[in-house]
Amino acid sequence: MNGGGETHHFRRLGVIWAVLAVAFDLVYYFAIGPHVPPGTLTSTASGAQFDFNILFLVAFPVMAAVWVYWAYALIVWRGSKSDLAEPEGGPKSRGHLGIQVGWIATTTVIVLGVFVFGTVELIVPAGAGGGEGPSPIWTPTSHEVLPIQVIGQQWQFTYRYPTFGGFESRQLMVPAGTTIAFHVTSLDVIHSFWAYQLGVKADANPSVDNVAYTTTKQPGAFTVRCGELCGLWHGAMYNFGKVVPKAQFFVWAQSTEHRSAANTKNLPPFAYTYVPDANGANGGYYPDNVDPYSKVETYGATSPGK
Amino acid sequence: MAIDTRESVSAEHSGHTAPPVRPTRRRPGWLGPHLGRALVGAVGGYAFGHWIGNVIGSGYINVQGSGQNDVAIVLGLSIGVVGWLAGAGMLDYPLAKIAGREPLPPAPSKSWTRYLGPALDHKVIGLQYTVVVLLFFFTGGLLAMAIRTELLNPTSHVFGPGTYISVVSEHGTIMMMMASSIVIGPLGNWLVPLMIGSRRMAFPRVESFSLWIFAAGYLVILAALPLGGFPTGWTGYAPLQTQATGGMDAYLVGFAVIGIGMICAGFNLLATIINYRAPGMTWSRVPIFVWSVLATAALLTLATPTLVAAGLFGVLDRTAQTAFFVNEHGGSSYLWENLFWFFGHPEVYIMALPGFGIVAEIFPVFTRKPLFGYRIAAAGMIGVALLSFFVWQHHIFQSGINPDMRPLFMLTTELISIPTGFIFLNTMGTLWKAKIRYEVPMLFALAMGFNFLIGGISGVFLSDVPVNVTVHGSFFVLAHFHYTIMGGLVFAFFGGLYYWLPKMTGKMMDRRLGKWHFWAMFIFFNLTFLPLFLVGLLGQPRRVFEYAQNLQTLNDVSSVSAFFLGASFLIFVFNFVKSIFLEPKPAPPNPWNSLGLEWQTPTPVPAYNFARIPVVLADPYHYGTSDGQAVADLGPRTLSLAGVVAPAAGALDAQAVTGEEGSADPRPPIA
């Protein structure tokens, strides 16, 4: 088996690799890709799915190249107990300029390609659902952005809707077909707002307003989990939310606003961040020079106080 | 035999007349420095520090009525560590110097008890390190199985949430501490002087110190459990850290203690590799393992101080009520994240590079071919080490800090995969038209390649910011770094153990048991962690005790496999005890017919390694050449031709190098 020429080995390896890579990529693209998490409930979710799939379609041939070569080498070039002669080694097996330069060039091209692709996919969909901090640099083009505040505290998430009187709810309802700005903050330690099927993840830091954008598509249900270890009951810090049609959302939001009006009065006025007092309840102030309603277009309803 | 590092040697050379010194009396053995005295010192030191802490802190408002005095815990742990070091004799030398006495070298001893006390021989320290890292590793492994037990069922629980999160945190921290030294400590200390043709490390006392303070770190981090555990995981994010109970102090002090040990081990190795290479050991002949240790040691020395500083900030926040990490009082919760990961990402490569070195060392021996692309391998390791300082923010992509920096950190993270990928170029090139010998070390090296490929490629997914939104903080990350650290480094470490133990202990490990260990570990490792990629992708966050019902099957596959994975190490322990102690089979000096300089010494390696400093003639990878070039000129009586002309006769006659076995220690002057 050892006698074959270099081109002979290369040709065989190339054929096995190409067949495997193409076959797997095709199967993956058509059969597996569309089902890859986090699904297609929002623009950022389907963006994440698309990115994951593209990376996988690139990654598999790379992995296959290594695996095919290794499997081939382990079988074809195994030594035997009887044959103690050394293989052909010597200076010329210490390195091959063409192969080394080719390797570096290939990996560099792949890596730069992945980088350019990732950057475009990060910037174009306005941060791709990740937390962008208090002053986002990639903002959505839509003029109708619904702000929803996510408040993390040990060990639950609550949600405030500033455009509906600033009521606070433990239920996260989101209208379909809408661009949403999640303003994520925390009252105590670092949490992470991970709305899995929405393709949104943003850390909740105390005194920080961390903004993440997404645009919902069709109605559906989603899970919210805390994505950053936050203490004892981190594992139990989850709840469920829904994307509902716009009309239904309005009904829910307005009725909840009225129902909880008495409660809302006792809450600290809406702000992007809160400094809790010792009881964690009474605080709340507007940071200097910040008008909570200036950054985003309001959605339908009028701002409280106007 | 102890290594003589007395400065009087050099003083004589430089013509100074040393002032008259009072001799130090040697105490009886049981009073001298050893493990038992160290334990007594640790307990006594803790009690003393705790008492002082209570005196200082009991008047503090935040202490009164809280039932917890962090000052007492921090001082107890810190002075306990000092007591441990004093008991182990680590302070004898500086104290004797201060007192104007001539410090004594440790009593020369050939008995096994020399492994229980301070040593100046890098080979003794290397074996001590081996025992300590295995202790770390098996403790962390048992905790891992506790985690997997809890995750057998999505809703019914074995542990309460407090116990569970403590177990998770303890597992992570112990394993990270272990992994930072698992190769550098045992193999780095044992092998580097032999590989570069040196008789000793540059700073033997510092080497011993780094071992004993590393062992102290084990006790400190274990002390977190009786102190109430800590809820932050190994990352220790503030302000959760500031809020946590007493165990958190053990985490902070423990990481600082381990960090000091890492810095000491790092600069000692750096100094040794740079300054103690034998004549002819040029940079283009240094074994690739030494290159990997060099890169790692640079990372240890440069990155770890950040961790120690961050730990100090944390301790101050918890005791002196400063506010480094408290946003409301002018600090920043991002500060810990950045300081921690500025250490933490180089740390990740501290836990990868030595594995590359071992694999690159094993491949040529068992393929009987030169290492393909030696220069590229060395350059790759240096490249990884440099780039690793510029990627840390990829751990906090979703944190809300610096969104404009994300493309940059995505780029650096993906760029680092280029030099990392060189290890595949090296191993694949070496395999080309080889004659592969499937010995146990080679199996581990091959498995490392398989696992690390999965770990590395999944890392590219994580570095892509849009995909990171989904997989960050999930079991996908967890599977990724277990593939790189356990699948990469730990597999390489065990490969290295099977490869070098015959030289380190003078006994051959059982080959059949070794293969059983390998296959059990390889199969169950993959069955444990491959499903966890899916689990993470399907939405299970890390460090939770409850998860979605539909993920139970995958979690159970992982859990059951984890138990078998744990059991596979019993085979190793059994093999180790049987082959080294119960039915020892003496190992020939060079059982694998390696060209490495370390294999050209007799077994057991004499205290001074080489009868005289060898003159290195070639790099250790010229397999398959017919000119029979020697690796090194080891002495007047022999030239090593091991494995080159007649592989079957590669086992060099041990007597040839040093003369009579067991003859008096040559005690050559250390120039």
A214-233 pLDDT per residue, tens: 999 999 999 999 999 998 89
The reply to whether B300 and B418 lie within a common domain is: yes
Q: Which domain holds residue B388?
A: 119-582
Residue ending a domain, choose from B534, B549, B582: B582
Given B429, B438, B466, which is nearest A128 (Cβ)?
A: B466
Please report the pLDDT score of residue A80 as a whole number: 75
Model confidence at A301, in pLDDT bands (50, 70, 90)? Answer: very low
Whether pLDDT at B661 is above 80:
no
The reply to whether B50 and B130 lie within a common domain is: no
The reply to whether B220 and B302 lie within a common domain is: yes
Are B499 and B491 a contacting pair, CB within 8 Å? no
The reply to whether B125 and B199 lie within a common domain is: yes
The reply to whether B430 and B484 lie within a common domain is: yes
Please report the pLDDT score of residue B300 as a whole number: 93
Mark yes or no for CB contact B370/A93 under 8 Å.
yes
Looking at the 3D structure of chain B, how many domains does it have?
2
**Residue range B592-605, pLDDT digits in tens:** 888 888 898 888 88
Q: What average pLDDT score do residues B7-20 get?
A: 48
**Residue range B538-566, pLDDT digits in tens:** 989 999 998 989 999 999 999 999 999 99
Q: What share of chain B has pLDDT > 90, as a percent?
A: 59
A77-95 residues labelled b (16+ CB within 10 A) or e (exposed): bebeeeeeebbebbeebbb
Residue ending a domain, choose from B102, B135, B158: B102
The reply to whether B61 and B127 lie within a common domain is: no
Q: What average pLDDT score do residues A76-89 get?
A: 72
The one-character DSSP state at A216 is B
Please report the pLDDT score of residue A137 as a whole number: 87
CA–CA min distance A86, chain B (Å) = 5
Computed over every residue of chain A, the mean pLDDT equals 84
Q: Which of A234, A239, A240, A275 is best to mutate for the B interface (most B CBs within 10 A)?
A: A234
The one-character DSSP state at B614 is -
**Residue range A160-173, pLDDT digits in tens:** 999 898 899 999 99
Mark yes or no for CB contact B243/A231 under 8 Å.
yes
For residue A37, list chain B residues with Cβ-Cβ distance below 8 A.
Answer: 470, 537-539
The reply to whether B61 and B158 lie within a common domain is: no
Are A209 and A188 a contacting pair, CB within 8 Å? no
Q: What distances in angstroms separate CA B470 from CA A25, A30, A196, A199, A201, one per listed residue?
A: 22, 22, 7, 6, 7
In a domain, B630, yes or no: no
Please report the pLDDT score of residue B542 as a whole number: 92
The reply to whether B49 and B182 lie within a common domain is: no
In a domain, B145, yes or no: yes
In a domain, B43, yes or no: yes
Please report the pLDDT score of residue B43 as a whole number: 95
In a domain, B589, yes or no: no
Given B368, B429, B546, which is nearest A236 (Cβ)?
A: B546
Residues in a beta bridge with B541: B474
Q: d(Cα A102, Cα B177) in Å, to the nearest integer? A: 38
In a domain, B328, yes or no: yes
CA–CA min distance B21, chain A (Å) = 56
Whether pLDDT at B355 is above 90:
yes
Residue ending a domain, choose from B77, B102, B127: B102
For residue A108, list chain B residues with Cβ-Cβ distance below 8 A.
Answer: 418
Q: Torsions phi, psi of B586, nearest 5?
A: -60, 140
The reply to whether B78 and B153 lie within a common domain is: no
Q: d(Cα B595, Cα B364) in Å, to the nearest integer? A: 9
In a domain, B538, yes or no: yes
Burial class (CB in 10 A: 0-12, 13-18, 19+), B322: middle
The reply to whether B174 and B53 lie within a common domain is: no
Q: d(Cα B244, Cα B166) in Å, to the nearest integer? A: 11
Q: Lowest-pLDDT range, A126-130, B225-229, B234-238?
A: A126-130
In a domain, B605, yes or no: no
Written as one string, the DSSP assignment of B517-579 is HHHHHHHHHHHHHHHHHHHHHTTPBTT-S---GGGHHHHHHHHHHHHHHHHHHHHHHHHHIII
In a domain, B620, yes or no: no
Please report the pLDDT score of residue A284 as a whole number: 38
Q: What share of chain B has pLDDT > 70, as a percent?
A: 89
Computed over every residue of chain B, the mean pLDDT equals 86
For residue A225, list chain B residues with Cβ-Cβ distance below 8 A.
Answer: 539, 541, 544
CA–CA min distance B78, chain A (Å) = 26
Q: What average pLDDT score do residues B63-83 get?
A: 89
Please report the pLDDT score of residue B440 as a whole number: 94
The reply to whether B209 and B244 lie within a common domain is: yes
Q: Which residue of B has its CA nearest to A124?
A: B466
Mark yes or no for CB contact B460/A59 under 8 Å.
yes
ipTM over the 0.85 cut-off: yes
Please report the pLDDT score of residue A144 as a whole number: 85
Model confidence at A296, in pLDDT bands (50, 70, 90)? Answer: very low
Q: What average pLDDT score do residues B245-254 get?
A: 92
Q: Which of A93, A99, A191 is best to mutate for the B interface (most B CBs within 10 A)?
A: A93
Whether pLDDT at A124 is above 60:
yes
Between A and B, how many residue pairs show a Cβ–Cβ distance under 8 A?
295
Check which CATH number belongs to the domain holding B358 and give it: 1.20.210.10
The reply to whether B38 and B129 lie within a common domain is: no
